[in-house]
Structure 1
Amino acid sequence: MREVRVFELEHSEPVAAWQVARPTIFKVISGNIWLTVEGEHEDHWLAAGESIELARGSVAWISAGQAGARFALASGSERKLPTLLLGWPMPAWLARRPGAV
């Protein structure tokens, strides 16, 4: 079984940090996403239809392009969604990154 969750991110929202507990597919549904993975030398600009696999243990920073963006996080039976750090109440199935504000 595969779990897919869809999120919307407005351009005006602050950059969000995600910590990946298990491999996760990050796919842009609409708009553009700027994504930086800690430890990588290059940023990623992803457009609608593009995706990237986030490795277990990685930390990704994301922001939406001018028109905002919708994206999906897909996990399978061996995958877990990353943690979003924005300061709003988090669903029980997500846990905050240790040491995050």
Structure 2
Amino acid sequence: MREIRTFELEHREPASAWRVAQPLAVNVLAGELWLTVEGDAEDYWLAAGETFELKRGAVAWLSAGREGARLSLTVASGAGDTVRVERRRTPRWTWMPRWLLTA
């Protein structure tokens, strides 16, 4: 059995900072998601149907595009790449879900 969590982000909602406790696959279910990972020079824009894998220990910042975003997080086996990459302005940082924090 594996755990899958679903989140919805609204447009103009401040970016969320997540510290990854275990490898995770970020799956965009609807809308558009902005994602950046500390130490990575790129910003990523993911559309519905696209996935991005985060390594254990990574700190990722996520925010929604104009239509908002619905995403799921699934425990992954490793780290991979996204399909589409696009540069945009960086939103403000704020909240970090406790269940994603490393000890």
Normalised to the residue count of structure 1, the TM-score between the two structures is: 0.77
Normalised to the residue count of structure 2, the TM-score between the two structures is: 0.75
1:34 & 1:25 partners in 2: Cα distance? 15
Query: Where do 5+ consecutive residues of structure 1 fail to align?
Result: 79-84
Q: Tell me which residue corresponds to 1:6.
A: 6
CA, structure 1 residues 32+5, in 2 after alignment: closer, same or farther (shift >3 Å)? same
CA, structure 1 residues 95+27, in 2 after alignment: closer, same or farther (shift >3 Å)? closer
Q: Tell me which residue corresponds to 1:42.
A: 42
CA RMSD of aligned residues (A): 2.4
Q: Tell me which residue corresponds to 1:81.
A: none
Count of aligned pairs between the two proteins: 88
1:4 partner amino acid = I
- Give the superposition deviation at 1:86: 2.2
Q: Tell me which residue corresponds to 1:18.
A: 18
1:95 & 1:73 partners in 2: Cα distance? 10
2:100 & 2:37 partners in 1: Cα distance? 19
Q: Tell me which residue corresponds to 1:86.
A: 95
Query: Where do 5+ consecutive residues of structure 2 fail to align?
Result: 78-93
1:33 & 1:64 partners in 2: Cα distance? 5
- Identity over aligned pairs, percent: 53
